[in-house]
A and B are shown apart, each in its own frame.
Chain A
Amino acid sequence: MGTYILRRLLIAVPSLLGISVVLFTVLALAPGDPFEELATNPNVPPEVRMALRASLGLDDPVWQRYIHWLTSMLKGEWGFSFVSRLDVDTLILQRLPVTIAVIGLSQLLALLIALPVGILAAVKPYSWFDRIASTLSFIGFSLPTFFTGLLFILFFSIYLDWFPFVFQGEVAATGFDWWVVQFKQAIMPIMVLGLFQAASWMRYVRSSVLDVVRLDYVTTARSKGLKERMVILKHVVRNALIPVVTLVALQVPGIFGGAIVTEQIFRIPGIGSLLIDSILRNDTPVIMAVTFVFACLVVLFNLIADLLYGWLDPRISYR
């Protein structure tokens, strides 16, 4: 298993490099000159401007600039936020835990809903349960997260007045109360994200279980007298999950997109809302860094999916 993880990590390196090339290309192609302001300033002679450009390496060939940019990114020199006057990395480290917590918990919720519902629907295909679950899942993934978020606020915060709709970064309470406040303010974003994911995963689980249930080895398991419960849980589900993991891994970028939207709706101080804020305020270093962090997170989650894949299908991991 150790060498397997190591190999996967090594495979992740080129894709991270590729992503960094894409991001840098966007940055390099972008119109606009950081010295635009100096060019219109009559007190700054053109020679000084040119010298400044040269000293900052703006006239170097593209590949040199890329290598320079990449090495400073690797060294953790992510620059300085124009707006908040903080180092970009401290800013991101402040915001990251909330985002990870919300995404992680919502994915857990999605899994807890999608697995049982999908399996039950597939065990009795075209039953009433299956029809209702399938229709609901269609509705679920056709509802964009920003609309569900607003509906949740409308119903749970304004109409029922159960949960606050503004997320507090610093919670004053301690001990048990702290957990209560955190739970109350986090439940809606987690539900919005989790239900959306659950709706699309449920369909994958259902169709994948349906494919596996018909196979001969399942009939064999039944005919040797195993209980139906055992057959489904031990023999069907494990194999059915293999394609599901692939599909889920492909959806990871989408999950982060949903997280950005949810953070914006509920005003959660995570890196998604940091990204939106810095775009609205033209804070380029933060924008670049947050996008790169999102890219790293996507690669990380793909890695986790790969590891799960190896655990579900032993033929892969020990080859």
Chain B
Amino acid sequence: MAGSTPASPTAEAAHGRKPVSTSPWAEAWRRFKRHRLALASLWLLALLSLVVLLGPLVYKVGINDIDFTARMKGPSATHPLGTDDLGRDLLARMLYGGRISLAVGFAAMLTGILIGIIVGAIAGISRGWIDTVLMWVTDLFLSLPTLPVLLLLIFFFRDALKSVFGPEVGIFLLIVLVIGGLSWMPVARLVRAQFFSLREKEFVEAARALGASVPRQVVRHILPNALGPVIVAATINIAAAIIAESTLSFLGLGFPPDIPTWGRILNDSRDYLDIATHWAVFPGLAIFIAVLTINFIGDGLRDALDPRRVL
């Protein structure tokens, strides 16, 4: 991406109303489209997100409507995805849970990427002892047993945050911060490595010679060019965060029982596997589809944004 030449404005004007765009992003999109599975995944994920976002507006069945006459019924006309042990409608619960699962994935990714970029950028631009210390911390976090520490943090801070922000927002914040705070390390390493090579490039040297301050060099010149691999890592991080949240909920330590995330529904269904198979299969499939499509999109983005690759 760093080496692509932007088309001159006059060349674009010569083509009349439909200029041939060769901006890096258009080029990346062209490459991305070649990865058919990734493109299909993008549409599927967009569809899934739309259904989860708009579904509850159309499908107006309460997530806590208890109906003991319809306990653990399979899919039917009244309950498209069946019901659970209290006769609650699974489709409504999964639509609601999908919002939370996807929101946690996205927010935790943003947190992790932000920390990663800041740490990596500071280490990459300052070098010396600051770099050494920051990388030591990064390596330390990399060797932490992630899931036990996640569980530990949630165990200790659950009640405090619940009392400050209320059960829903408090747990959401806690889970997002904790998952994000334990997933920034690969990004930090990536950004640092990119900074090491980019800061010696001619265009940065030119900026430096023109008197650009260090923050300006970083924000205007180095960071935009280091973004490609970071975007790929970000995509993979969304999938990892969704899995992490589902794992926590599955272990019964994520959101409280009355908030049905996909992992939580799966956890509730465990004891009725033999009589209510649909109850476990649908949320499991939802997690699987979300994670699989995101992973494929990440693969496509890697093809599209990796400057070493010539397609």
- Using CB atoms and an 8 Å cutoff, list the residues of chain A in contact with chain B: 15, 18-19, 22-23, 26-27, 29-32, 138-139, 141-144, 146-147, 150-151, 153-154, 158, 250, 252-254, 256-257, 260-261, 264-265, 275-276, 279-280, 287-288, 290-291, 294-295, 297-299, 302
Contacts and interface: CB of A to CB of B under 8 A. Distances in A.
Given A32-B159, A291-B152, A144 B296 contact: no
Contacts of B277: 154
A139 B292 contact: yes
B159 A279 contact: no
Contacts of B153: 26
27 contacts: A22-B149, A23-B149, A26-B153, A29-B156, A31-B160, A138-B299, A144-B243, A146-B247, A146-B250, A146-B263, A147-B287, A147-B288, A154-B277, A154-B280, A158-B273, A158-B274, A254-B146, A260-B147, A261-B147, A261-B247, A264-B251, A276-B151, A279-B155, A287-B151, A287-B152, A294-B148, A295-B145
A106 B31 CA distance: 38
Nearest to B141: A22
Contacts of B253: 276, 279-280
Query: Nearest 4 pairs between A and B by C-beta?
Result: A257-B147, A30-B156, A294-B145, A142-B292
Given A15-B143, A150-B266, A143 B288 contact: yes
B291 interface: yes
A143 B243 CA distance: 9
A257 B152 contact: no
B284 A147 contact: yes
B159 A142 contact: no
B155 A287 contact: yes
B251 A261 contact: yes
B292 A144 contact: no
Contacts of A23: 149, 152
Contacts of A298: 143-145
Q: How large is the interface on B (under 10, 10 to 19, 20 to 34, 35 or more residues)?
A: 35 or more
A154 B157 CA distance: 36
Contacts of B239: 142
Contacts of A144: 243, 246-247, 287-288, 291
B89 to A, nearest CB: 21
Nearest to A150: B280
B274 to A, nearest CB: 5
A146 B288 CA distance: 11
Interface string B277-301: 1001000100110011001100100
B77 interface: no
A87 to B, nearest CB: 20
B143 A30 contact: no
B219 to A, nearest CB: 30
B295 A291 contact: no
Contacts of B296: 138
B283 to A, nearest CB: 9
Contacts of A256: 145, 147-148
A264 B148 CA distance: 13
Given A138-B296, A147-B287, A147-B288, A291 B156 contact: no
Contacts of A253: 142-147
Interface string B239-281: 1000100110011110000000001001001100110010010
B139 interface: yes
A254 B246 CA distance: 15
A252 B142 CA distance: 10
A142 B143 contact: no
B157 A302 contact: no
Interface in B113-152: 136, 139-140, 142-149, 151-152
Contacts of B247: 144, 146, 257, 261
B292 A138 contact: yes
Contacts of B146: 253-254, 257
Given A276-B251, A294-B148, 12 more contacts: A26-B149, A30-B156, A144-B288, A147-B284, A151-B284, A250-B142, A254-B146, A257-B146, A260-B251, A275-B151, A276-B252, A298-B143
Contacts of A139: 292
Contact of B145 (A250, A276, A291): A291
B9 to A, nearest CB: 41
Most buried by B among A23, A29, A280, A291: A291
A18 B141 CA distance: 9
A290 B270 contact: no
A250 B144 CA distance: 10
B152 A297 contact: no
A4 B140 CA distance: 21
Contacts of A151: 284
Contact of B139 (A15, A150, A276, A297): A15
Contacts of B147: 253, 256-257, 260-261
Contacts of A260: 147-148, 251
B284 to A, nearest CB: 4
Contacts of B250: 146, 261, 264
A208 to B, nearest CB: 15
Nearest to A290: B148
Contacts of A299: 143
Contacts of A295: 143-145, 148
B284 A150 contact: yes
B19 to A, nearest CB: 35
